Structure 1
Amino acid sequence: MTTRDISTEVLIVGAGLGGVAAALAAADRGARVVLTEEFPWIGGQLTSQAVPPDEHPWVESFGVTARYRALRDGIRDVYRRRYPLTDGARAKGELNPGAGWVSKLCHEPKIAVGVLEEMLAPYRSNGSVRLLERMRPVGATTDGDAVTSVTLDSETGEPSITVHADYVIDATETGELLPLTGTAYVTGFESRTDTGEPSAPEQAQPDNVQALSVCFAVEHVDGDNTIERPENYDFWREYTPAAWQGNRMLSWTAPNPRTLEIDTRAFEPNPGDDALAVDADQSRNAGDKNLWYFRRIAARDLFEPGFYDSDICLVNWPSIDYFLAPVLDASRDVELEHYAKARQLSLSMLYWMQTEAPRADGGTGFPGLRLRPDVMGSSDGLAQAPYHRESRRIRALTTITENDVSYAVRGDAGATRYADSVGVGMYRVDLHPSTGGDTYIDVASTPFEIPLGALIPQRTTNLLAANKNIGTTHITNGCYRLHPVEWNIGEAAGHLAAYCLDQKTTPHVVHADVTRLSDYQAELDAAGVERHWPEGRTFAY
């Protein structure tokens, strides 16, 4: 196959939430953009990974960018315009179509795909954004400390493409451009000596990375929908990780993230709860006692009778966390091997639920559980892409540590306030069991800011981070990895690339020059990027 060559001003690799936000910001400011995506759907963790948005309790009022709010409003608008909602659901201002307890906006992932595509449509139509679909980065060229091109292979057998660009934004889920471009990065746990973090180990553990998960959606209907017994079912059925304290992973039991005590959760399909009364606020109620409605993405009682045969339940639970081995920096063959094993784990959990899971009535198994491939946009009913909680992370101008966000450390002083802030976020430090055998690490945090220096590598001059690959540590990644924060990071990166093109400068200069930094931040303010929390917003959850 021959390799085609194209040129652009800004190349954004990865069309997850950070990548799409970067493309919108850069194009809106006048830059020419090439945006690439490996999987069939754009949107990353919200869509191809099928993870409902993890957001802070005040998301309906403040603490996200104007563009992210437009995404949320667009999702609700689709339901109001196109779905047969009940009168009560239609009148509810903060409509939560799934009435899930994990988020104030649980919804089917394909709805978000459509809204994201609509947001990009004007820029694709006028040619300022070109989307290269089903392309994965495999190589790069550099000139000194600058990236000059990135080569992408097609997932569908089309010719490879080499994109030459003035600025390159790594919005991939695992920081895939960092090793390809020679950009310095870290993986796994840093040592306490390096970061001074109370929760860090004494020695660095670069291969100790959070679990990844392959999510799936099910409904519960009449009949026997039991899948074929998964090939690796016997292994997973008997698997008892140390964190589970002698209990099997395929069960309703798992460690409580905050206490580490073993909790036993309920599972009751279509419980007939008051879906309109659900008030998703994890600072007050974790909402995971009945796993059915924890991440429910369609609550049938919010729609006209008979429209849905069943609720739709999104499975993203501890029992599908895959942590047998890290995949960052593994060969492609090994990486795909572990993805296949993670898929086997998810299918094994489903098979266990269908055949062996204890029921409240004393019976076993829920054979009525049925996969929804149409909801996942896949042939097998599993999410198109694995949900990575952790990425390679750039060695950045600024590294955010536990001491910058922990409520136990900062108290009522609040999180560190940055002169170069380009946005805000809020979430607990929520680290899942990891490949090094660790159990959960859960640290209460305060509302935090996103420093520009965390997006800029120490050395590489024209590459920006726009996903979970910014300058956090293993620990602070646990609160900077969520949907609205990723979007904010991407939006700031895309705007910065376009600003630098227009002003004929570089990110390092903008970061160091007070006048240029102020000009750039003023543009973010005008675009609806909130860079500081309201005064007094220092409490934690």
Structure 2
Amino acid sequence: MEQEKCTDVVIIGGGLGGTAAALAAAKAGQRVLLTEETDWLGGQLTSQAVPPDEHRWIEQSGCTASYREFRSRVRDYYRRNYPLTESARCNPILNPGNGWVSRLTHEPKVALAVLHEMLAPYVNTGRIEVLYHTVPVHVDTAGDRVTGVTVQEGRTGGLIKLRGAYYLDATECSDLLPLAGVEHVSGAESRRETGEPHALEEADPLDMQSITHVAAVDYVHDGNFTISRPREYDYWRQYVPSFSSYPILSWYASDANDTSKLKEFTMFPNEQGVVSLWDYRRIVDPELWSEPLNDGEVTLLNWALNDYYAGPLIGVSPEERQQHLDSARQLTLSLVYWLQTEAPRLDGGRGYPGVRLRGDVLGTDDGLAKAPYIRESRRIRGLYTVTEQDVSKELRGAKGAKRYKDSVGVGSYHLDLHPTTVSQRTFYIPNHPYEIPLGSLIPVRMKNLLPACKNISMTQIANGCYRLHPTEWNIGEASGTLAAYAIANQVEPTAVRETDEHLQSYQAQLIRQGVQLHWTDAELEGEC
């Protein structure tokens, strides 16, 4: 028998955007039901094990106050709970892992603990209810409105009908859109449609950015933790991407400064000047501790070597989707095995058998993340679509960064497109700092469903920068606040955007809670 739960705001997907949306809606006084497919909230930061990718101003500007609070709480968590050296404890910009991908590389479990702290007042008082191990299976609609979402609990198979005034899609692949019949796009648009110089000549909905199934490892000198030979190892050992003359399991990958060229990498920091990947996404650095807690450093394998672009997760049969998910895991396990047995060392030897999978770091038995890192989802067709022309530094030219009257936040990141599943395009386009237009959060037709992660109205190329951590959080916060504003004022999102009184009132609410709507002239002058 199907259960039924009623609330104000239903948020499907407990990733970074969904968590931020739930927090915002609850702070605004609304009751929230939040679902999550795994047993960890936080998406990119936790279950997918991806340290925050951020812009260079992040310590002072360019994100919401709640996202900055999250970052501060992470550092405080280490100061309160870890035996840090005096210099580390007193460092205002403590980087717990000393990784160079981010100013805040940290353990996923710490991010999870901090998110639970931030949600605690609302979860403990019942304003937010979280349903874990839960996925959407059906959506009821009446005309242009969603009237209910049926979710299934993975462990029992039980069905629950969720009803609310507003429904937010924060799933990693934006699964509500097809279930609700919402107009959307997936994969690559055509140049004819978007006018983007880097778009394909012909649209291909199956040409999507690669996914990565991240693993956590440490290294024990003179240890031997070699895993069993993965069943797809021979395939991946010989697989050569179309843009390379080397197998994917090699120390050669696309150069971010010029993706038409290859760059050499290696395992560990060295005196030869070859870029090391070990400290790239390092999340544990015992050098910061005043007493030993661990055998050594811990790093995350989220490299070009385990980007999976052999097929998409969207637009294929459930069987083919599962095959790609399994193969993405096999690629990462093959990378681990290659590192342990065959990876060329700068001293002329081969293999690092002391590489050890660390499932305890990720809350798993096998050392792989609970869920794959999915860079691209379905995207709504909205009142405004963000394109390459809105963000690219070259295309904007002397006009500089684009400003929007209806901005609901800001962000900055290169248009970073990882190899795609059909054309295997990859590029890294310099950007101007950008704003998030409210029009990109409002579907062209559906009235009470909103996107809350990397599923706003934008092209595949624009997604290359709007998909990163601070922007996904900002999108979720803006959507949660919008749903709360619409309920409190009995107005629909389209009217919020189209009516100056409501737009200014909604934006004022965002400003009061610490959302930066525009980059300042001084900030924009500094980036030129």
Partner of residue 169, structure 2: 170
Query: Structure 2 unaligned runs (5+)?
Result: none
Partner of residue 239, structure 1: 239
Partner of residue 155, structure 1: 154
RMSD over equivalenced CA pairs, Å:
1.5
Partner of residue 100, structure 2: 101
Looking at structure 1, the residues matched to 317 and 119 of structure 2 have their Cα atoms a distance apart, in angstroms, of 34
CA shift at 1:437, angstroms?
2.7
Note the alpha carbon deviations across 1:93-146, whole angstroms, 9 max, x for none: 100001011000000001000110111111011111110111011111000010
Looking at structure 1, the residues matched to 401 and 466 of structure 2 have their Cα atoms a distance apart, in angstroms, of 13
Partner of residue 478, structure 1: 464
Partner of residue 67, structure 1: 66
Question: 1:134-213 residue pairs with structure 2 within 5 A?
Answer: 134-213=133-212
Partner of residue 466, structure 1: 452
Question: 1:17-36 residue pairs with structure 2 within 5 A?
Answer: 17-36=16-35
Note the alpha carbon deviations across 1:312-334, whole angstroms, 9 max, x for none: 01110011011111111223222
Looking at structure 1, the residues matched to 150 and 39 of structure 2 have their Cα atoms a distance apart, in angstroms, of 19
Q: Is the 8 A contact 1:415 1:446 kept in 2?
A: yes
Partner of residue 457, structure 1: 443
Partner of residue 265, structure 2: 265
SS state at 1:449 partner = strand
Note the alpha carbon deviations across 1:414-435, whole angstroms, 9 max, x for none: 2221000000000000000011
SS state at 2:40 partner = coil
Amino acid at match of 2:66: R
Looking at structure 1, the residues matched to 426 and 149 of structure 2 have their Cα atoms a distance apart, in angstroms, of 37
Are residue 226 (structure 1) and residue 226 (structure 2) matched?
Answer: yes
Alignment CA distance shift 1:94-1:344 (3 Å): same
Note the alpha carbon deviations across 1:1-47, whole angstroms, 9 max, x for none: x2211111100011111111111110111111100000121000111
Bigger shift: residues 184-193 or 330-339: 330-339
Amino acid at match of 2:474: N
Question: 1:121-520 residue pairs with structure 2 within 5 A?
Answer: 121-221=120-220, 222-244=222-244, 246-259=245-258, 260-268=260-268, 289-520=275-506
CA shift at 1:359, angstroms?
1.1
Partner of residue 79, structure 2: 80
Q: Is the 8 A contact 2:264 2:274 kept in 1?
A: no
CA shift at 1:306, angstroms?
2.5
Looking at structure 2, the residues matched to 39 and 540 of structure 1 have their Cα atoms a distance apart, in angstroms, of 39
CA shift at 1:540, angstroms?
5.4
Looking at structure 2, the residues matched to 107 and 437 of structure 1 have their Cα atoms a distance apart, in angstroms, of 34
SS state at 1:12 partner = strand
Amino acid at match of 1:164: R
CA shift at 1:367, angstroms?
0.4
Q: Is the 8 A contact 1:405 1:414 kept in 2?
A: no
Q: Is the 8 A contact 1:147 1:181 kept in 2?
A: yes
Bigger shift: residues 251-260 or 115-124: 251-260
Note the alpha carbon deviations across 1:221-276, whole angstroms, 9 max, x for none: 142100111011110111011112x201011111113312111102117x79xxxx
CA shift at 1:412, angstroms?
4.1
Identical residues among aligned pairs (%)? 51
CA shift at 1:532, angstroms?
0.4
Note the alpha carbon deviations across 1:425-457, whole angstroms, 9 max, x for none: 000000000111323121111010000110110
Query: Structure 1 unaligned runs (5+)?
Result: 273-286
Q: Is the 8 A contact 1:431 1:478 kept in 2?
A: yes
Amino acid at match of 1:266: T
Amino acid at match of 2:140: T
Looking at structure 2, the residues matched to 413 and 388 of structure 1 have their Cα atoms a distance apart, in angstroms, of 33
Structure 2-normalised TM-score? 0.97
Amino acid at match of 2:206: D
Looking at structure 1, the residues matched to 204 and 210 of structure 2 have their Cα atoms a distance apart, in angstroms, of 15
Tell me which of 504, 507, 512 is aligned to 1:521.
507
Note the alpha carbon deviations across 1:317-369, whole angstroms, 9 max, x for none: 01101111111122322212210010000000000000001112211110000
Q: Is the 8 A contact 2:205 2:315 kept in 1?
A: no
Amino acid at match of 1:179: P
Structure 1-normalised TM-score? 0.95
Partner of residue 112, structure 2: 113
Note the alpha carbon deviations across 1:151-187, whole angstroms, 9 max, x for none: 1111212512110111000011111100000000001
Alignment CA distance shift 1:540-1:322 (3 Å): farther
Amino acid at match of 1:236: W
Looking at structure 1, the residues matched to 197 and 250 of structure 2 have their Cα atoms a distance apart, in angstroms, of 32
Bigger shift: residues 471-480 or 200-209: 200-209
Q: Is the 8 A contact 1:422 1:529 kept in 2?
A: yes
SS state at 1:292 partner = coil
CA shift at 1:390, angstroms?
0.6
Note the alpha carbon deviations across 1:504-533, whole angstroms, 9 max, x for none: 111011111111010000000000000001
Looking at structure 1, the residues matched to 234 and 329 of structure 2 have their Cα atoms a distance apart, in angstroms, of 14
Q: Is the 8 A contact 1:414 1:537 kept in 2?
A: no
Q: Is the 8 A contact 2:146 2:167 kept in 1?
A: yes
Amino acid at match of 2:231: E
Bigger shift: residues 522-531 or 432-441: 432-441
